[in-house]
């Protein structure tokens, strides 16, 4: 069975969006060559990606562009080459290698996990993450903790959860990457 991982940037106080639903705070701060190298290697993992509608729309408007290729060439290459799934009832995906999940999200992801192929990572997509976590389908959570306190916003968890720490790594810029088994 394939594993389902969640990759999420969160504030130090545990939010993936601020009170206004924005995420621009996650990209602010110091440049860090070591962190940039880690991001590049992470984006080259060869797995499949899963998005909710909002995150997919943001990704689709940036990663296939010349600007993305110029700013983050390795990440853009990985994002564009990956097989992608989007959970939506309102859009028709147009980004290369994207498939629309039909029907019930939990059932569709359970079927994906049971099928052949590489592991799947959910990027962003807070409501999708909460639903899949509540259904017991998430195997691993990987958080980039950004040293910013938002004081409010949205959490990725729908219900309470106890996680087991698997790995942690701190970077010069203050970001800390933690990986938990669900």
* pLDDT tens digit sequence for 42-58: 777 778 999 999 999 99
Q: pLDDT tens for residues 104-126?
A: 999 999 999 999 999 999 998 88
Does residue 164 sit within a domain?
no
In this prediction the pTM is 0.90
Residue 31 belongs to some domain of the structure: yes
Q: What is the pLDDT along the chain (182 residues), one digit of tens a residue?
A: 899 999 999 999 999 999 998 888 887 656 788 888 888 887 777 789 999 999 999 999 999 999 999 988 988 999 999 999 999 988 989 999 999 998 899 999 999 999 999 999 999 888 899 999 999 999 999 999 999 999 999 988 877 789 999 999 999 999 999 999 99
Structure tokens at 21: 């639903």
Question: Does residue 163 form part of some domain?
Answer: no
Residue 118 is assigned to a structural domain of this protein: yes
User: Does residue 121 contact residue 50 with C-beta atoms inside 8 Å?
Assistant: yes
Q: Is residue 104 part of a domain?
A: yes
- Cβ burial of 110 (10 Å; 0-12, 13-18, 19+) is middle
Tally of domains in the chain: 1
Spatial CA neighbour of 154 closest among 58, 33, 56, 11: 11
Residue 162, in any domain of the structure? no
Could you tell me the residue range of the domain that residue 136 belongs to? 4-157+169-181
CATH number for the domain spanning 120: value is 3.40.430.10
139 located within any domain: yes
Q: Which two tokens stand for residue 19?
A: 């009170």
Joined tokens for residue 52: 């909710």
Q: Is residue 113 part of a domain?
A: yes
Q: What is the pLDDT of residue 111?
A: 95
């Amino acid at each position: 069975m394939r594993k389902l991982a969640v990759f999420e940037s969160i504030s130090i106080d545990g939010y993936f969006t601020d009170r206004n639903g924005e995420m621009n705070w996650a990209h602010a701060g110091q440049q860090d060559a070591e962190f940039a190298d880690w991001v590049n290697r992470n984006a080259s993992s060869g797995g499949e990606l899963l998005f909710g509608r909002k995150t997919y729309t943001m990704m689709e408007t940036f990663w296939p562009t010349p600007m993305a290729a110029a700013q983050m060439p390795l990440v853009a290459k990985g994002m564009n080459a990956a097989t992608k799934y989007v959970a939506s009832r309102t859009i028709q995906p147009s980004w290369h290698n994207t498939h629309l999940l039909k029907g019930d999200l939990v059932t569709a992801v359970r079927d994906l996990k049971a099928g052949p192929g590489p592991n799947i990572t959910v990027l962003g997509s807070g409501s999708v993450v909460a639903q899949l976590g509540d259904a017991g389908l998430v195997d691993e959570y990987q958080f980039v903790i950004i040293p910013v306190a938002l004081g409010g916003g949205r959490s990725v968890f729908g219900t309470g959860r106890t996680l087991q720490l698997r790995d942690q790594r701190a970077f010069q810029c203050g970001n800390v990457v933690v990986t938990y088994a669900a």
